[in-house]
Amino acid sequence: MSRTRRCEPVPLEVREAASLLERRWQLSILYAALTGAIRFSEFAEAVAGISPRMLSERLRDLEAAGLVERTVIPSSPPTVEYRLTARGRRLSPLIEAMREYAAGAV
């Protein structure tokens, strides 16, 4: 007879969200977007230590997941802006809770 407690399997939705958000830099990029970054250079400045190649890759991941929308502004030279979608903005309470937790844990 086993003495372990039975627990529920992790739902697919939780595993999928974790798979995206646990990738290095993702939460930092989302935080930067929530606090006003919209241009690539602003993200690069806000997320210290990320390489341009990795930032570009992570922004593409977030765009593919429907959390960020990429818009090319026709100008000379063309400008690209990244804005959170409604789905991306819904992560704000989660990211704020993480920030508050970390601030209280110090």
Query: What is the domain partition of the chain in residue ranges?
Result: 24-105
Say if residue 20's pLDDT is above 70: yes
Could you give the count of Cα atoms lying within 13 Å of 54 in the half-sphere of its Cβ?
12
pLDDT at 106 (0 to 100): 56
Phi, psi of 104 (to 5 degrees): -80, -20
Say if residue 1's pLDDT is above 80: no
Q: Is the dihedral of CA 54, 57, 60, 66 positive or negative?
A: negative
pLDDT (average), residues 60-74: 96
Say if residue 2's pLDDT is above 80: no
pTM score of the predicted model: 0.85
pLDDT (average), residues 11-39: 93
- What is the CATH number assigned to the segment(s) 24-105? 1.10.10.10
